[in-house]
Structure formats: structure tokens, C-alpha cells
């Protein structure tokens, strides 16, 4: 049996790690988007907008709460969820600082959306989902 390594990171790195882990699921990102559009929602309101079981939404809300991305307020029997803006600001600051250090060449920027595969007749129904570039000449025989 191996020995686990316990590395110590600064507090900001630990917080960003928890936030990224919590946002690593599409349902949680959708929940955060709903809360961002209108704060102070109940679990029931979120369930009405995301077609999943209430227990599933509750588990995702719990993960967001553990990462301190949502605040929880109790009003009688209702549990009201809202966004914890301070941790979102930490993530925003980290992401903008990180992205400002990345340099993408002009050639790489132009190839990000291009596809390398020719569309064959049997998959011609997929053509509508590919990006179209007016300056690119497509092989009409392949379509």
C-alpha cells in the first residue's frame, strides 16, 4: 500500500481547487447560472427549471454549499439559495490572471474552429452543425 502525499498549498489555491471541483459537473454550472440570473431561489424552483429529481438537485446544491459557492438561508420550511459573490470574485480574479499569461498565435486562433475531417455523403445531415467559412473551398463531391 502506498503512502499518500499531503501537499500544503496557500489558502487561495485551496479555495480555487474546491470551486473548480464543485463546478466540474454540468448540472452545478446550470444551477449557478440560474442563481446568477435570479438570486434567492428554492430547491423546488430549481427543480422546475432543471428536469432532474429533487434529491439529485439537493445533492448538487450541497456540493456547491461545501465549496462556499452558495449561501443558504432558512425561512420557515423553505431553504433559499443564493450566490456567494466573494468566492466567485476569487475565481474571476484567478481566471483573468491565468488567461492573461496565455499567448495564442494568430495562426492557432484561426484554426480553433476549423474541422479537419471531410464530410461524407452518409453523414451529410451533420453538415448543418459544422462551422462554415466563406473563404474555405469545400470539396463538393464529398457532400
Query: Domains (ranges, CATH) in the chain?
Result: 11-92 (1.10.10.10)
Average pLDDT over residues 34-39: 92
Classified as helix, coil or strand, 11 is helix
Contact indicator for 25, 50 with CB cutoff of 8 Å: no
Q: Report the half-sphere exposure of 25 (CA within 13 A, side-chain side).
A: 14
* Residues whose CB is less than 8 angstroms from the CB of residue 130 and which lie 6 or more positions away in sequence, other chains included: 115, 119
Contact indicator for 12, 23 with CB cutoff of 8 Å: no
CA pair distance 108, 103, nearest whole angstrom: 10
Q: What is the pLDDT of residues 41-89, one digit of tens each?
A: 999 999 999 989 999 999 999 999 999 999 999 999 999 999 998 888 8
Q: What pTM does this model have?
A: 0.64
Q: Report the half-sphere exposure of 80 (CA within 13 A, side-chain side).
A: 8
Give residue 8's pLDDT band: very low, low, confident or very high (50, 70, 90): confident
- Phi, psi dihedrals of residue 42, rounded to the nearest 5°: -90, 165
Amino acid at each position: 500500500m502506498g503512502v499518500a502525499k499531503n501537499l500544503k498549498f496557500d489558502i487561495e489555491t485551496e479555495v480555487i481547487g474546491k470551486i473548480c471541483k464543485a463546478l466540474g459537473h454540468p448540472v452545478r454550472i446550470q444551477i449557478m447560472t440560474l442563481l446568477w440570473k435570479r438570486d434567492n431561489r428554492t430547491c423546488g424552483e430549481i427543480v422546475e427549471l432543471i428536469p432532474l429529481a429533487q434529491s439529485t438537485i439537493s445533492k448538487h446544491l450541497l456540493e456547491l454549499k461545501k465549496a462556499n459557492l452558495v449561501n443558504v438561508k432558512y425561512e420557515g420550511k423553505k431553504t433559499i439559495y443564493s450566490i456567494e459573490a466573494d468566492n466567485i470574485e476569487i475565481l474571476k480574479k484567478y481566471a483573468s490572471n491565468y488567461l492573461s499569461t496565455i499567448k495564442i498565435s494568430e495562426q492557432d486562433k484561426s484554426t480553433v474552429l476549423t474541422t479537419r475531417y471531410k464530410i461524407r455523403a452518409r453523414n451529410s445531415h451533420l453538415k448543418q452543425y459544422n462551422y462554415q467559412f466563406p473563404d474555405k473551398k469545400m470539396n463538393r463531391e464529398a457532400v
